[in-house]
Amino acid sequence: MLHLSSWEIGPIFRAMTRNKVGAVLIALQVAVTMCIIVNAVHILMERTMQMARDSGIDEANSFYLSSTGFADDFNDQVVIQTDLDAIRALPGVIDAMQINAIPISGGGWSMGLQTQPGAEFEGVGTAVYMVDDHVLNTLDLELIAGEAFKPSDIRWRQRSQRDWPAEIIITRALAENLFPEQSYQDTVGKTLYINDDEPVIVKGIIDKLQAPWVGWERLENAMLSPEQTLFSSSTYFIRTEPGRLDELMPAVEQMLADSNKGRVVRGLRSMQETRDRTYRRDQAMIKILTTVMITLTLVTALGIVGLASFNVNRRRKQIGTRRALGASQVSVLRYFMLENFLISSMGVILGAVLTVGLNIYLVQSLGLTKLHWWLIPVGMLTLWLVGQLAVLGPARRAAATSPAIATRTV
């Protein structure tokens, strides 16, 4: 620190230019490593953020299963009512209902809603959940405007039936999509058109509910339609008290299977599992990228350690001579750290260019989003740090070189 002249930047640099290849190799390694790491972190953050989006329902304590009748005397309507009554009566169950599709599961029903009738107007896409009056409690939704469904609102829907109930509940996001200029509260009571010209009235607004398709750009557009379905299969959605899920899942399955032999009970799955399956690829990608980043950093660091150790050995005599000429241990340490810093600097500058280049390529050809600019300085800093840490060991060994080497070695 005493004198700037003892920092030897000039001589280090000139010595390096006589030994270009080694320095260039490390710089290139640092550059490519930075390019990979920054882009990987970017992808990682993108995925983590997607996965962190709230579905709006009580995922931790919910599960569902399906029942498919096959016996000739199977009466859907009766069975569904009996099933739901029985499930709701179970201790530990908060509420239960029939539903046509499961949020974030990947499969569901969508429709277009428009504010004016007529095929020529474009609709706003929305997920459709067919539910009964237990929906708010079962899905743990909050009604933020208007009214909830009453038992008398619920109708039965036949398999190929095309018309829609008179009133629906929509999510706040959908309300704001349909009427961008108005506050969502004012949407209550408005008439919307489904199937181009069939009117439905907005009865209420819920805070949040995700559609089944997590990759959809309008993920929070969802509507609740007050009806129970008489399709070939019925899916029951059940919310339990906290901590009772594991015990209730097999219990409900068993109860349904035992209560009626003329059907198949299948597809028992918790919401947690559904989430895991839906985001499995993202989760996998995150793990793979993390592994790649760690091993890559390790490889680069080991490369630096290897090359630096080698250089220290090769320069033992030179180090001894420097020590004999008055270099303190700190000066020797500083020499190697500074040398690495200069090489890393070239690396990270090139790395910044490569990083942006790869990101542009990924944006254009694979539809990734643009990099946050601050990731680049953070990446540069990280690689500087990795380099300094990697070179610390060899540099300390160099500093410990005895000045007597100067006269002892040939």
Partner 1 sequence: MLNMQNVTKIFRTDLVETRALSDFNLHVKEGEFVTVTGPSGSGKTTFLNIAGLLESFDDGVYDLDGENVRHLNDTQRSRLRNEKIGFIFQSFNLIPDLDLFDNVDVPLRYRGFNGSERKRRIERCLELVGLANRMKHLPAQLSGGQQQRVAIARALAGEPRFLLADEPTGNLDSKMAHSVMQLLKDINDEGTTIVMVTHDPSLAREAKRNIFVKDGKVSDVTHISASAPEPIASISASGARHV
Partner 2 sequence: MFNYYLRLALLSIRRNPILSALMVAAIALGIGASMTTITVNYLMSSNPIPQKSDQLYYVQVDSWDPNEPAEEPNEPPEQLTWTDANNLYAAQKAQRQVIMATTAAVVEPPSQDAKPFNAYIRLTTNEFFPMFDVPFLYGGHWQASADKGREQVVVLSRKSNDKIFGGENSVGRSLRLAGRQFTVVGVLESWYPAPKFYDVGTGAFEEPEDLYIPFLLKEELQLPNGGNTNCWKTPEDDSFAGFLRSECINYQMWVELPEEQDKQAYLAFLNNYANEQKALGRFPRPLNNRLSDVMQWMENRQVVTDDARVMLWLSLMFLVVCLLNTVGLLLAKFSGKSAEIGLRRAIGASRQALFYQHLVETACIGLTGGIAGLALAYLGLLGIGSLYGSFADNLSSLDINMVLLALLLSLISSIAAGLYPTWRACSIAPASQLKSQ
397 binds, among partner 2, partner 1, none (CB under 5 to 8 A by kind): none
| C-beta of residue 99 within 8 angstroms of C-beta of residue 80 | no
| Beta carbon of residue 408, minimum distance to partner 1 (angstroms, whole number) | 7
Mark 344-383 with x for binding to partner 2 (rule: CB under 8 A) and - for no binding. --------------x---x---xxx---------------
Q: Which region, judged by CB under 8 A, interacts with partner 2, from 299-307, 322-330, 338-346, 393-401? A: 299-307
Residues that bind partner 1 (CB under 8 A): 2-3, 5-6, 8, 10-11, 14-15, 18-19, 317-318, 320-331, 402-404, 406-408, 410
State which amino acid sits at residue 148: A
Question: Is the Cα dihedral 282, 288, 290, 292 positive or negative?
Answer: negative
Q: Give φ, ψ of 391 to 5 degrees.
A: -85, -10
Residue 285 contacts partner 2 per CB under 8 A? yes
Q: Which is nearer to partner 2, 4 or 410 (CB)?
A: 410
Q: Is 104 left (phi over 0), alpha (psi -120 to 50) or beta?
A: left
300 binds, among partner 2, partner 1, none (CB under 5 to 8 A by kind): partner 2
For helices 375-399 and 329-366, the axis angle rounded to 10 degrees is 150
Q: Which is nearer to partner 1, 77 or 402 (CB)?
A: 402
List binders of partner 2 among 164-193 (CB under 8 A).
none
SS (H, E, C) 386-402: HHHHHHHHHHHHHHCCC
List binders of partner 2 among 1-20 (CB under 8 A).
none
In the list 32, 169, 173, 223, the residue contacting partner 2 (rule: CB under 8 A) is 32
Which residue carries 């390096």 as its tokens? 16
329 binds, among partner 1, partner 2, none (CB under 5 to 8 A by kind): partner 1
CA–CA distances in Å: residue 200 to residues 2, 114, 164, 167, 245: 81, 10, 7, 5, 37
In the list 14, 53, 150, 281, the residue contacting partner 2 (rule: CB under 8 A) is 281
∠ Cα 151 155 161 (to 5°): 165
Q: What's the alpha-carbon Rg for the chain, to the nearest Å?
A: 33
| Beta carbon of residue 405, minimum distance to partner 1 (angstroms, whole number) | 9
For helices 329-366 and 20-51, the axis angle rounded to 10 degrees is 50
The full length of the chain comes to: 410
Q: Which residues bind partner 2 (CB under 8 A)?
A: 21-22, 25-26, 28-29, 32-33, 35-36, 39-40, 43, 66, 68, 70-72, 119-120, 158-162, 195-196, 231-233, 263-264, 266, 277, 280-281, 283-285, 287-289, 291-292, 295-296, 299-300, 302-303, 306-307, 310-311, 313-314, 358, 362, 366-368, 410
